[in-house]
Structure formats: structure tokens, C-alpha cells
Structure 1
Amino acid sequence: MSQVNPETNTPESTAPAAASTQGCPFPHGQAAAPSAAHAPNGCPVSARAADFDPFEDGYQQDPPEYVRWAREQEPVFYSPKLGYWVVTRYDDIKAIFRDNITFSPSIALEKITPTGPEANAVLASYGFALNRTLVNEDEPAHMPRRRVLMEPFTPEELKHHEPMVRRLAREYVDRFINDGRADLVDQILWEVPLTVALHFLGVPEEDMDMLRKYSIAHTVNTWGRPKPEEQVAVAHAVGNFWQLAGKILDKMRQNPDAPGWMQYGLRKQKDHPDVVTDSYLHSMMMAGIVAAHETTANATANAIKLLLQHPDVWREICEDRSLIPNAVEECLRHNGSVAAWRRLATKDVRIGGVDIAAGAKLLIVTSSANHDEGHFADADLFDIRRENASDQLTFGYGAHQCMGKNLARMEMQIFLDEFTRRLPHMRLAVQSFTYVPNTSFRGPEHVWVEWDPSENPERTDPSVLEGETPVRIGEPSGHAVNRPVVVESVTAVTPDIVKLRLTAPDGRAMPRWAPGSHIDVECGDTGLSRQYSLCGDPDDACAFEIAVLRELDGRGGSAWIHSHVKSGDRLRIRGPRNHFRLDETIERAIFIAGGIGITPVSAMARRAKALGIDYTFHYSGRSRKSMALLDDLIALHGDRLQVWAKDEGRRADYAAILGTPDASTQVYACGPRRMLDALAECCAAWPDDTLRVEHFQSTLGTLDPNKEHAFEVALKDSGITVMVPAGQTLLHALRAANIDVQSDCEEGLCGSCEVRVLEGDVDHRDVVLTRAERDANTKMMSCCSRACGKRLVLEL
């Protein structure tokens, strides 16, 4: 496992160094023979590293599996066949993306296989002079161009393209819907993204077959290994592509006010002639045609192939299309279209414990990072409900993250919406999948599918063609990740509290959870979603249990559950999620619950008993008959449980319960706000963060611009500055600037929108962070918290 050195912002290994004078921490067996290969730093090259060849079919078919050995045993190694250092773990690769000064992108479009003099002469005859683009440009030139050209890629601007993408997807499916068999790549997944790309760029629709040929040639020329006899033909195609890009750009200059990103660039050239130059526009024209469609076409083909290889998952999204946004993220993680990027070390640096010299070339295998068990639990499992799926590095990260990521997400979501509506019964045909051999971009050349046209849903239900699933432009929120459950039982445990036992519809085990976890329950079609703590036994893998208090003055969720939910019903839930964890290493615990706050605390006390932790348990309520789970708790905890029933004249004295401050004791509490406030006052003299609490409600209201102030946020990793107006949350300002931030409740309750703070004082308004975490000032909840002053610096 590696970590980032905060002094240099570069990766360092946490593994113990091996006895090697070169500093390599990875075992290579016996001393290498005199003829054995060595890396440039003198480190002997292992047999697996010596055999590494990304042009082999194993890498093309499954890059993460091909380098599994490296990810697990030798995460940074030198490849003699390639002449590159290869990096395979998530933390190392993200740190490389984060530091685009030490790790220059300048070689990203360099030919990975040098071509011979004949092919080079062909390219020269076409005047080929591909310059720097947003992909391979260093600072200080890169960021000014990126800022100038970013606006058309923001979510607000991309919304205008959605109707066209939907229309094209519908029209292309119409062409083969009654055939019963189709190659999705040839018949829709290549041409539609190409048409969308041309529309987005403002390019007239030229001969698509020719552009496809040119695009593949560009990929082979840059990232492939064409044979000597193939290099000349590839060079002619690339040369023609270059000249075509120049001709199209010349036509655009005659009408720069027309729609399209390239015309946008031409207009910006008038105001920023030194930033948006002629050679830059020509290079971007050619690179943009490739980047804007090829990766999207490949990503969608990979996604369809992956989903159809998992029929249960395909059936799930066909039945519940709200899962599509997160399914897209998981497809991009599990089987994305970008296998690797390249970087150049500009100074001596240490990555994953290996010393690498200035001038070294790096192949950073992002597809391997996306399968790193250190970041993604059960990384090889295809899980469309994975909460951190959007941490995938397929789009890169930081200042050079793909600007077109949200256009790609939009197209993929629309394709899946169309296919799940109209072809839910399609299946993969028997076939072998082939790929264009190259190090970086991958997608099957063909995806053959079959179905029975007589079973097409629209033949019996024309309304299938009427609906459309809303597209989420940008990273999906937690609201998109739900799972169906069956209500096994509804039990009244007090006059005002019911306990629900929830199981999986297919009888499978429920996700594992730890005490303090909660789930979000969607309340039918009301649009309400409410959080309820799990109160059952964490060792019971068959079901989740929650207890719900009917709140007459609540927001409607509990009233809906009490009046509508019955045994056998289906509900949708999200989670479990945990921001109220029990520290299982503590010596002593005091558990305090008030009213329905018993739900998370009961699970904690059960776990403390199982672990042998010394604890006391205090439960307050109006009366014993109003206190949920009481009989079970008395049976389980005996004398450790103290019941404070108001109608019996027993009121909890928190000062007496807590006693003398003790550094070895942790206090866990959940209940009414007045109880939590009283406990906070009693714990003021205790060590920081002795008191851990769970809140069910937030006092966060609608922002009042008259009571707030605007502030700016510098995003260190992305290299941009975002203004946050007085009437807007930081979360929404970040999303408007095309920055991905996960979210769920957006009330400061759940903690999913946390961002790291590097500089500036935060006005914390959440109920997630502890006192010590607030004082440390290193993180904030972007949905509600703000800057105390005029500026913050975030690690985004």
C-alpha cells in the first residue's frame, strides 16, 4: 500500500524497504544473473516485468487481470519491452495525476512505437504538425487554455444536447429493432457518438466511414504497435485526417458565430489570441474528433458487454432504470474505455518505494487502479450499487481530467435507457471479442446481440416509447443507488413505534453493516426519503431491522410508513452507511439513548457486550410502554441497563451518569436535541471527542443571501478557482464548474459530500464532524458548510 508524502505531494511506499542498494522494496528472488535485465535505476527486473507486453491479447482482453500480479506484488516495475515504468495501484496513480508538474503529460500523445523513415516522410508530405492539446500540454500554458474553453462542457451547457442524443438513439434502434440480431458497435455505438461529437464540435457531418478509419489510424499511430509494412498506410490515413481537420477549421472561420465548441474557440481567439492560437485550434480539431467520440463509443460497448455478461444485473436495471447513472459509473470502473495514460517524470522522484530518475517515462494503468482492493472493496465484483464507483480514474483526475466526461456519461445513460426499454430481452450472441491492439484505449470491435422480435415490449405496450429516464449530468448522487427490499414483517412494538424487518427479494444475504449504520427509505411516490438507523443484530445476514416512530409534526416520512407499509410490500432503500461508528478498541463505553434514539445505540451495546467491552447503558423515555425494544434490551443487558422512565419519576442525571472525566471512556448518544445539548455541556471538560452523537434532523434551512457572503474556492488539484455566491451552496458551485462531488441527503446529515480543506477557516454547519475534526479544519461538508472568510483552498 502506498501513500502520498505531504511535503512533496508524491507517492511513497509504506512497505518496508528490502535489502537493496537501489532502494527497491520488492523481492526479486535470488541475485540476478549478469545477463539479466535491469531497470534504469539498477534494480533487477523480475521475470514477470520482463515479460510484460501491453500489445499481447491478454492485456487487450482484460488489462486489470493482466497486471494483477503487479498490483499485488510489484506495483511499480520497469518494462524493458516498452521502455516505461509501469504503475498499477490507485493511490500512486491518483497522486501522479494530482501533480502535473512533477509528472508531465507531455508524452501523452507521443508515438509509443517509433515509426520508420518512410512513414515519417509520408506524414511530413501532408504537413502533419500535431501541436500541444489539452491532453498533453504542460503548465503554464495548459490551465489558461482550459479555463477559456471550459464553459461548453459544464452541466448547464450540456443539457442542450440531450434531446438530440435521445433522438439519435431512438432512430438508430428503430433501424434494427425488428431484426432479432445486431452488431451494436457497427449499427449504433460508433455512429451515434460520432454524430454527437461532430454536433458538439460544430463540424459538418462528413463521411462517417472515412472518419472512423481516420480515428482508428490515429489511435494505432499514437498508442499502437503497427508493423513496418502497416506504418505507411497508417501514416497516409493520419495525414489525410490532419488535412481534413484543417479544411474544416478554415470553413468554420467563415462563420464563427455558428454553434459548436470549435466555433466557441474561434470566438475566444479574438479575446485571447495568445492563448487560443491557430496551431492549437488545428490540433484540437483533429484530437477533438477522436476524443469526443471514440472513448464514448468504446465505453458504451464495454458497458453493454459487461451488463449482458451479468444477466441478473441487466434484469435489475431493466426493472429499475433509476439505477442507470450509478451502473454507468461502475461500468466505467470495472471495464472502462481508457486502460492507461502516460506521464514523464520531470525530476528524480520516488513512487511506491521505487526511485525513478528525471526523464523516465511512465505508463499509469488506470484500469488496474480501478481494481485496486486498497480502494474498492471486492474490486473484481461488478456491483452497480457500489457507493464509491465514481472514484474511478477512467476520466483521469485533477487538472487534466477529461473535460468531456459528462457528455460521455449523458450518452451512456441514454443508450442504456433506450436499450433497457426496448430490448430488455436481448442477450450476447456467441462470439469472440477482438480489440485494436494499443496500450491505452480499448473497446470491442464488435458486440453481437440477439433477441426474439416477437417479444419486443413496444409491440404490446406502445407506452414503452413514451417515457424517458432523467439523465444525471455529472457524478451520480447517492439518491441514484437504491436496492429493492421486501417487508417481511411489520410489528407494533409500542403504540407509536413499528419495527420493520426487511429482506432481499431474491432471498440473498443483505449487505454487511456495523453498529451505528443507517439506511435511507424511499417513501413510495411521495418524493420523501428518510433515514432510519439499523437496530437488529449485525450478525443477522438475512435481514435489516428498523424501528419507526410516528411523528405527527414530522415531515411525512414516518406517517407514510405507519399508514401504508404492510407485510409483503416492496420498498426501495439506500445504504447502509455509517457515520456513527463504535470504536471497538475502547476500554469502556457509556451508551445513552432517548426515545427513538435507542435504535443505533441498541446495536452498539449489543456489539460491546459481544466484544467484552466494559459498558453501562442508559435509556430514557416518557414511559416504559412508549420505549421500543425494552423487553429485549433488559433480557440482553441485565443490570448494565438503566431505564429512566419519566412517568415513574426517574430522570437521567447526565452529570452523575458521566462522573469524572476519563480518557479511556467513550460516550455514545442518540436522542432529542435537548438531550444531546445537555450531554455536550456535561462533556465539555472531558477529552475532545469523548462524546459521539447521531442526529436525525438538521437545522439547515434554505440559504438566505442577505445573511451570507460570497467566497472563492481554489481547487488545488484541478487548477481552477470557483466563486460561491451568497445564495448558493459550495456543492452546487462545484458541480456547475464540472467538478465531481458525491452527495446524498444535502442537509449536512450523511457525510457523503465531504471535501478536504487545505487552507482557510470553515464555517461548519453539518452534524457529522466531531469537535476535534472541526477544530482540525481539514474537511468540510460541501452541501451546507461555508467559508468564514473570503477564500478556501480545497483538495479537488
Structure 2
Amino acid sequence: MSDVNSPDRASACPFHNTAGGAIAATPTGCPVSRRAAEFDPFEDGYQQDPPEYVRWAREQEPVFYSPKLGYWVVTRYEDIKAIFRDNLTFSPSIALEKITPTGPEANEVLASYGYAMNRTLVNEDEPAHMPRRRALMDPFTPEALMHHEPMVRHLAREYVDRFIDDGKADLVDQMLWEVPLTVALHFLGVPEEDMDTLRKYSIAHTVNTWGRPKPEEQVEVAHAVGKFWQFAGKVLDKMRQDPDGPGWMQYGIRKQKELPDVVTDSYLHSMMMAGIVAAHETTANATANAMKLLLQHPQAWRDICEDPSLIPNAVEECLRHNGSVAAWRRLATRDVTVGGIDIPAGSKLLIVMSSANHDEHQFADADLFDIRRENASDQLTFGYGSHQCMGKNLARMEMQIFLEEFTRRLPHMRLAEQRFTYVPNTSFRGPEHVFVEWDPALNPERVDPSALQPRAAVRIGEPSAHAISRPVVVTSATYAGGDIIRVKLASPDGRPLPRWTPGSHIDVECGNTGISRQYSLCGDPDDAAAFEIAVLREHQSRGGSEWVHNNVKTGALLRVRGPRNHFRLDESAKKLVFIAGGIGITPISAMARNAKARGIDYEVHFSGRTRASMALLDELTALHGDRMRVYVSDEGTRNDFRALQVVEGTQVYACGPARMLEALQHASMGWPDDALKVEHFESTIGTLDPDREHAFEVELKDSGLVVTVPADQTLLAALRKANVDVQSDCEEGLCGSCEVRVLAGEIDHRDVVLTKGER
């Protein structure tokens, strides 16, 4: 994303030329492609599967203009995340604007109810938004949300009790709509009213804002929305009489007394109505989507039935693969370029997060439903940045509890034959019905009363990467010279393994030792049937390699995490230089294979003590021919890094022992910035010494939270103590898992993963 005035900006019409009689033109004069002209998010194709409906755009025309909507449509992950990040250039002010303008009769109906929906947390610009968000944030903290867990569990059990002996149910009608609505009302502090009436109100609000009601439907919808508005006002007036009661709205009323200019009357009324929809409908739809998706993938369903610790990450993958918020809207406040397309100030954007969640550039094998996906929580269903959904962790908690209840009490549940239908709209998405069936005679609690007891602890926030592992079986374990063992791993049931990219690694859990170690994948990224690693026995190591050599035999069952990639290959480079020392050849081998397959100019430099100790040497020599340079200490040959020709456009990737990498760092002083990318075996960072450190404070932009980091803690540890979720893995500055953007302030970098330019 860049300014349109940037001197190196892309052509204004990069995806199609102006010849050929275009159907229509964009506001900037570019021709509109046929598929862009046909785009209609109210069609059944979009309702059934938004990511598939816009696949053509994601792959060929990631930003396009829709004449039918009058919106620019954005479909790729990187562009959408950048839009969410910049809420000044891309104003949220139109998020609750009617996407389909209604006629004068419907507008008169709304006016007759005094309808005046104004600013809420989702559609408010700065400088008003952040002070209000900070003022109203406390009830959403993990500590505060935990108080709601017993109530959610009680409701989930009570509703399942109602139909568990029937052998069939519509999960939406009989549970997944009413329970989230009850939780939403409880959280907001709203007295429970007629569920059916509130359901009609909520659907009407969705259709009124994000749908395309027919002219004959608009008046009926307007009456429902008007009644919803009046209901919200009456409840708010009642709450003012008892502002000390529990609930987020009462909390807001108390905050109004403290901050009257920040939390105003009109703001509370709008938030009451919006809060009922946001806290209820998205969770109801998300859980209905999740149950449909899990039951359509029986192995994934069996996996979470047998191992409830997988449920938190399964929730993230369900939100990624089939989320309840398909798209959102923004308004361009200035001329800007998004994805190479010039977008004028005043343009409206439909940002399709469901498409971003299937972007292959962010999620390997993105269409695969994988409940163990390492980066599933990168999903954008909750948005991103300063307007990210505040209630995301309440939704996560509810979904975890619902899935835990279903898997524990109805593991034999299956989908009934049906066609799924959706309320046509651009943004909120969930099936109107999910019909399921089972044999009540097989209900576990009939023979084992312990099936009624919860098995899984709820995790508030993103799942921990350390909790997500997958079983694999060793299909071969052979020695490859010296003390190196090559290991091939496959799924025990023969299913494909997750796709991975060159430079990726997996974490191998070393039995019951509590040790896990990272090993680079060195096989073929296109081989979905196997992971391959090569492990050097390090006699002075911390025990991981010794365990692998002593215990990993053909047929052995292991557990691994990943794959993850913090050593990603830049395939746009003009030339690639690969440098490996010893076992460092493992990630380099996959990278070199990829460069050859893509026709990129490359060379491989491989150093070792003896030829016998150099893993993969013979097959690499056969594959890469004269692009392969081999340096063997016993033969008196050594790589002279000063002789390397590294010019602009060349990328150098290196992995090997610390002494080799230090020499490379020294030799790279005269190279272009960030030409050298390094993968380390071990951290060079010492243990934290509190006597040599000092305390400091960090302010978190999204929440406004200020965290003090004591002298004896890392920033990562302090954030965790403050209940802020930050993914991490090695905790040694090696992997980059915990990387976050710093917006201001001086940084004392102590990692070994970022380049000079990245720092």
C-alpha cells in the first residue's frame, strides 16, 4: 500500500488493459473486468462460500471496483491488514452505514421511532475512538471475562439437556442462537426479555445495515429496527436507576459520571443496540459455522473429541476457515494506492477478511482445514489494529465451552442431510439451521456419569503454540554419514501433512522428557505425504539430539508442532546465494530445490569437515551440478566469503555454526542492506542479569494499557503477566515468533533473528 503520488507506484490499471470494450469503468477511468462487473455479494455463491467466490480476485485481481456495489473490493491478506492498521487513511465511519440505501417510506418509519444510531466503537474516528475504547475496556480483560465462565457452562449444559435424548436437533434454533444471546444480555447487564423478539430485532438490524432488502421488505425491516432502538433506550433508562448493578452498560453509565465528555448519552444508546448484536450474533454464527465445519471433517471432530486440548486452536482454525464476519467496510480519506490500484479519496472499500483468511501468501495450503495449524490465530475475522473486536475473547470462551460440551456428551453426533441457507448480506455469516442427529443409546453419560464433568480448561485469548501438536509416525530413520540421522515422518492415518515453505522447521517433542527441539525441514515442499529432517548427534547438547538418535526408529510414534517459517525465502530476488556449514544444509537444501524449480539464478556453497560428515551431499551435487560449491576442511578447501559477489537484488541465505556466521557477518559489511539472512543453531544472548538492567514502561496502542517491565523480566514475560497474548516459542531470540511492531521509542535489540534493516 502506498500513496498515489509515490514516484515508483504501479501502473494505474495493472490487471487489465483499456482495450476491448470494457463493460464499465472505475471512478479513476480504468476498465472494469467482466468478473468485477458481475461481483454481487448478495448472490448465493458468496453466501455459501465467500473465499471461493472471490478466489479469482485473490489470485488475479486482488483489488477491483464493483459497479453493482459502488465499492472497491480488497481480497488479499497483506492489503487488508494494512488497511486495518491505518485507521486514519481508512476511516471506519461507514462500517454501520446501510450498504443498500432504503426508500423514503422506510426512512420515515425509522424517523417515527426516533432512530438515531450514531457512533459506536466500530465506526468511530480518532481522536474520539481511542479514549472511549480505553474507558470501556476493563470488563473485556481476561481476568474479568473468567467470571462469566460458570454461567456459560451452566447454560451450555442446560440447553444440551433439553435435546440430548431426542437423537436429533437443530443446533441453531435449539441452542446456538439463544445461549449467546443470553450470555450477551448477561454481559451487558440487560434483563432477559423475549428471545424470539430479540432474534427478529437482531436479524432486522443485520439486514438493514449489511443486506439488500427488497422494496416491499424495507418497511417491515424499518419497523423492527425502530422497535429495537426504542427497546434499547427503555432498557438503558432502567439501568440508570441502578447504575451499580453488574454489566458492561452499567459500567459505561458509571464511567459517564467520571468522563462525561467521553461517554455521552447518545453514545451509550447506540452502544446498547450495537452491543446486543455484536456480543450475540457473531458468536452464534461463529459457533454454527464451527459445528458445520467440524462435522464435515470427521477426523478433526474425532481428534477434538479424543483430545480437548486441541479445542482452543480448533476455534481459531474455524474462525479462519469459515468465520462469522465475512467482510467489513472502510472509507478512504485521501488518495491512496492499495495493491497497485489507485483509489481516490472518498472511495468506499469492502474488505473481504474471509478471502484474506484463505490467502496462500499467509496460510500455507490455505483451503485445508487443519485444527493444528500453527498460525490459525493470524485470522482477521476479529479485525486487526485499534478497532479489533473488543469482545473477541468472550466469543472464544463461549465457542470453547460449546465445543467442549458437544464433544464430551455427543461425540457420535453427525450432520443430517440438508442444504445450508444464509441471511443474504455482505458481512455477518452463519447458517440459519444446522440439523444434526445421533443415536441416544450411545450417549456416553448413560454408561459413564463422568461424561457430564468438564474436561478442558478454558483459555482466555489466543491459544498457545506449545499446546498444538500433531501425531506422526516414523516411516524411515537412516544414517546419512557421520553422526547424522535422516528421519521421514508421516501421518499415522495416511492423511496429507500441512504444506510448508522452504526455510520451515518443526518442533519435535522428545517423548516425556519435557524437551522439544526445532529441526529444519529438508525434504520436498511439494511432498504432502512426509516431513523430512536430518539431526546431528551433539554430544555436548542439551539432550534433544541424543534423544532423537537413541529413540527414533522406524514405526515409532512422535508428536511434532508446526511447520513454521522464520527463515522465509524471497522468491522475488534476482539471484540467490545459499551458504551452509555442516548440518546447516537442512533448510538450505529445500531453498535451493525451490530456486531451481522456479528458474531463479542461484548458487550453493556447502562446507564441512569431511565429505563423509556432510549430509545430503551426493543428492545435492546430482541435483545442482555446477551450481554447487563444496569446501572440505580435510581436503584443504575453504570458502572465502570476501570473494562473494553480492550486488543489489542478490539475497544471501546462511545456516551453520556460529563461527561461520560471524565471519559472514563481517564479510557482509560492504553488501547492500539486508542482503544477508541468517538461521542460527543457538542463541548468543546471555542470561538476563537484573543487576545490569533497568525497569521500563511500554504502552500498548490498541488497548492503551501501560505495562511496567521490571529489571528481572523480559518484555514478553511482563506482557504475559498482564494477560496480553503474544505468541512465542524459543524465548531465546532465535525464532521471531514473538515479533511485534514498535511504533515509537528506542529499542535495545537482543535477538539474533532480525536483520539490520528489520530492526
Amino acid at match of 1:388: N
For 2:709, which of 715, 718, 725 is the aligned residue? 725
Task: Report the Cα offset of residue 443 of structure 1.
Answer: 0.8
Q: Which residues in structure 2 correspond to 1:699-778 (within 5 Å)?
A: 706-713=691-698, 718=702, 720=704, 722-726=706-710, 727-731=712-716, 741-757=726-742, 759-769=744-754, 773-774=755-756, 776=757, 778=758
1:789 paired residue number: none
Superposed CA deviations along residues 649-688 of structure 1, whole A, max 9, x for unmatched, are x9x99xx6537543359684524x5x45764687477747
Q: Which residues in structure 2 correspond to 1:549-628 (within 5 Å)?
A: 555-558=542-545, 560-561=547-548, 565-580=552-567, 591-593=580-582, 617-620=606-609
Superposed CA deviations along residues 531-586 of structure 1, whole A, max 9, x for unmatched, are 23345677876543445566677555456556655543321112233445688976
Contact 1:12 1:351 in 2 (8 A): no
Partners of 1:689 and 1:172 in 2: CA distance: 58
1:279 paired residue number: 266
For 1:93, which of 58, 63, 80 is the aligned residue? 80
**3-state SS in 2 of match to 1:143:** helix
2:234 maps to 1:250? no
Change (3 A) 1:262 1:738: farther
Change (3 A) 1:615 1:43: closer
CA RMSD of aligned residues (A): 4.0
Task: Report the Cα offset of residue 454 of structure 1.
Answer: 2.4
1:663 paired residue number: 645
Change (3 A) 1:564 1:173: farther
2:413 maps to 1:426? yes
2:664 maps to 1:697? no
Change (3 A) 1:518 1:381: closer
Change (3 A) 1:635 1:11: closer
1:793 paired residue number: none
Gaps of 5+ in 2: none
Contact 1:325 1:480 in 2 (8 A): no
2:494 maps to 1:507? yes
Partners of 1:631 and 1:82 in 2: CA distance: 58
Contact 1:342 1:364 in 2 (8 A): yes
Amino acid at match of 2:385: G
**3-state SS in 2 of match to 1:169:** helix
Task: Report the Cα offset of residue 522 of structure 1.
Answer: 1.8
Contact 2:504 2:587 in 1 (8 A): yes
Task: Report the Cα offset of residue 500 of structure 1.
Answer: 4.0
Task: Report the Cα offset of residue 108 of structure 1.
Answer: 1.6
2:381 paired residue number: 394
Contact 1:522 1:529 in 2 (8 A): yes
Partners of 2:526 and 2:417 in 1: CA distance: 42
Partners of 1:97 and 1:49 in 2: CA distance: 23
Amino acid at match of 1:381: L
Amino acid at match of 1:592: G
2:309 paired residue number: 322
Q: Which residues in structure 2 correspond to 1:280-429 (within 5 Å)?
A: 280-429=267-416
Contact 1:76 1:352 in 2 (8 A): yes
Partners of 1:409 and 1:12 in 2: CA distance: 44
Partners of 1:568 and 1:555 in 2: CA distance: 25
Task: Report the Cα offset of residue 337 of structure 1.
Answer: 1.1
1:788 paired residue number: none
Amino acid at match of 1:129: A
Amino acid at match of 2:680: H
Change (3 A) 1:691 1:274: closer
Partners of 1:728 and 1:341 in 2: CA distance: 39
Task: Report the Cα offset of residue 442 of structure 1.
Answer: 1.3
**3-state SS in 1 of match to 2:209:** helix
Task: Report the Cα offset of residue 704 of structure 1.
Answer: 5.4
Change (3 A) 1:295 1:514: closer
2:456 paired residue number: 469
2:21 paired residue number: 31
Task: Report the Cα offset of residue 288 of structure 1.
Answer: 0.4
Task: Report the Cα offset of residue 301 of structure 1.
Answer: 0.7
Partners of 2:373 and 2:195 in 1: CA distance: 37
Contact 2:12 2:341 in 1 (8 A): no
Partners of 1:609 and 1:60 in 2: CA distance: 41
Partners of 1:514 and 1:344 in 2: CA distance: 35
Amino acid at match of 1:577: R
Contact 1:712 1:721 in 2 (8 A): no
Number of equivalences = 746
Amino acid at match of 1:753: C
Contact 1:591 1:605 in 2 (8 A): no
Change (3 A) 1:471 1:680: farther
For 1:235, which of 210, 222, 226 is the aligned residue? 222
Moved more, 545-554 or 285-294: 545-554
Q: Which residues in structure 2 correspond to 1:207-226 (within 5 Å)?
A: 207-226=194-213
Change (3 A) 1:165 1:494: farther
Partners of 1:42 and 1:414 in 2: CA distance: 52
Moved more, 753-762 or 701-710: 701-710
> Could you state the TM-score of these two structures normalised by the residue count of structure 1?
0.82
2:466 paired residue number: 479
**3-state SS in 2 of match to 1:65:** helix
Contact 2:374 2:564 in 1 (8 A): no
Q: Which residues in structure 2 correspond to 1:50-69 (within 5 Å)?
A: 50-69=37-56
**3-state SS in 2 of match to 1:768:** coil
Superposed CA deviations along residues 55-78 of structure 1, whole A, max 9, x for unmatched, are 232222222333334444444444
Task: Report the Cα offset of residue 297 of structure 1.
Answer: 0.5
> Could you state the TM-score of these two structures normalised by the residue count of structure 2?
0.85
Gaps of 5+ in 1: 19-23, 780-796
Partners of 2:297 and 2:371 in 1: CA distance: 11
Moved more, 536-545 or 168-177: 536-545
Amino acid at match of 2:736: G
Contact 2:239 2:250 in 1 (8 A): yes
Superposed CA deviations along residues 316-360 of structure 1, whole A, max 9, x for unmatched, are 333343333333222222221112222233334444444444433
Partners of 2:342 and 2:479 in 1: CA distance: 65
**3-state SS in 2 of match to 1:754:** coil
2:152 maps to 1:165? yes
Partners of 2:704 and 2:662 in 1: CA distance: 44
Partners of 2:102 and 2:588 in 1: CA distance: 67
Partners of 1:38 and 1:334 in 2: CA distance: 33
Superposed CA deviations along residues 106-137 of structure 1, whole A, max 9, x for unmatched, are 22212233334443343333332222111111
1:792 paired residue number: none
2:424 paired residue number: 437
Moved more, 219-228 or 437-446: 219-228
Task: Report the Cα offset of residue 292 of structure 1.
Answer: 0.4
Partners of 1:557 and 1:728 in 2: CA distance: 27
**3-state SS in 1 of match to 2:608:** strand
Partners of 2:480 and 2:33 in 1: CA distance: 64
Contact 1:618 1:643 in 2 (8 A): yes
